[in-house]
Amino acid sequence: MSHSSQAVPKWTRAETRPAMERKFRFQNRIAAWGFLAKLAVLLDKDDFYVEWAGNRVKVILTWDDTQTQSEPLELAEKINEVV
């Protein structure tokens, strides 16, 4: 199975695990929190991680070898639409 994230703009393949990630930078913490609130609706799953620091947010979508990558790819596309 290919784990390429090239199908979704601005997302990269994580180096240490089967995952894809994207970093976001906002004007301020309030804008970052607004984005996180929107993500909460989309990311109602156990296979994601969000790292937040001030005006920066990093989203990591993971899968294991028994899962298909289609769900994380679809989720990444939805997240791109939220920004």
**Tokens at residue 67, please?**
């899962």
Q: Name the range with the highest mean pLDDT among 14-18, 22-26, 58-62.
A: 22-26
Q: Tell me the whole-structure pTM to 2 decimals.
A: 0.79
Domains along the chain? 12-82 (3.30.1360.20)
Mean pLDDT for all residues in the chain: 83
Q: What number of CA atoms fall less than 13 Å from residue 72's CA on the CB side? A: 28
Q: What is the pLDDT of residue 66?
A: 63
Interval 28-54: pLDDT, tens: 999 999 999 999 888 776 667 788 999
